[in-house]
Amino acid sequence: MISMDSNRKIVLSFDLDNTLINNREGIVNSFNFALRKFNLPLMDKQVIEKMIGIPLHQMFLTIAKQNISDLVLTFREFYGSKGIYQGHLIEGVKEKLKELKKQEFILGIITSKKQEMAIKMVEILAISEFFDYVTGETEERKELGKLDPSFKSFFEEKYPHYQIIVIGDHPKDAMLSNNLKCPFIGVLTGNHSAQELKDSKKGKSLILNSVSELNEDSINELVS
């Protein structure tokens, strides 16, 4: 085990949907609300859930070739007024975040959600106190989602001497860790298998059933 001083040099960067929170109901309802408004065929719940974790405009491109901006706007209007309140924390998450913060790890969030929506959601779910940053889609960073090069610049500028670990349920989270050249912890609380996550990762990784299984020793081992 490494010392507490070393722990202060580790940043745990979490995904949001299906990693910390279960907001499938809100996302599915918002997605189909937008499709219904534009007289497009509704999508099956499981199909929408499988796409959670990629940028919203890419989700709509799977079913429509026009009005994408309008569909995204309609989704966000419904989600911001109703869908955002249909989510809940995954079991054990709040207790684990409190534990990790007490151990003096730096905690943050990188999500495909619009940044202000992500900030609002962590406030609604009363976990904002645990995070040093919450970052997501902005006008400057939306086409590439989590694979935007600006995330690498963000860590280089804000945490230049820190070890980074990306934690998430989606292959895009593993790919983000590849871009950052850092370890990856995959969790199986989403819609992707351990094999899918492993296949997307180059380098050190660990697969857990959920964030609640995170512990200091396994984190330290990944960065040793």
pLDDT tens track for 16-46: 999 999 999 999 999 999 999 999 999 999 9
Q: Residue 1: its pLDDT value, please?
A: 36
Is 24-86 the same fold as 4-22+89-223?
no
* pLDDT tens digit sequence for 48-105: 998 887 888 889 998 888 889 999 999 999 999 999 999 999 999 999 999 999 999 9
Tell me, what's the pLDDT at 142? 73
Partners of 134 in the β-ladder = 109
CATH number 1.10.150.240 given to 24-86? yes
Read off the pLDDT of each residue in 130-135 and give the average, rounded to a whole number. 97
Alpha helices for the chain (secondary structure H): 4-7, 24-37, 45-51, 56-61, 68-81, 93-102, 115-124, 150-158, 171-180, 194-199, 216-223
Q: Indicate the average pLDDT of the chain.
A: 92
Residue 8 is predicted with a pLDDT of: 59
User: What's the sign of the alpha-carbon dihedral 117, 67, 48, 190?
Assistant: negative
For 14, 46, 67, 186, the CA distances from 205, given in Å and listed in that order, are 14, 27, 39, 7
The pLDDT assigned to 52 comes to: 86
Give the tokens for residue 39.
């007289």
Q: What is the DSSP string of 174-224?
A: HHHHHHHT--EEEESSSS--HHHHHHT--S-EEEES-GGG--HHHHHHHH-
User: By three-state DSSP, how is residue 17 classified?
Assistant: strand
Cα distance between residue 52 and residue 5, in whole Å: 36
Closest CA to 187 of 161, 205, 164, 160: 205
* pLDDT tens sequence across 100-130: 999 999 999 999 888 999 999 999 999 999 9
53/86 Cα distance (integer angstroms) = 17
Question: For residues 143 and 22, what is the distance between their CA atoms, to the nearest angstrom?
Answer: 24
Cβ atoms of 170 and 53 closer than 8 Å:
yes
Domain map of the chain by residue range? 4-22+89-223, 24-86
Helix (H, G, I), strand (E, B) or coil at 11: strand
What does pTM read for this prediction?
0.88
Fold adopted by 4-22+89-223? Rossmann fold (3.40.50)
Higher pLDDT, 8 or 172: 172
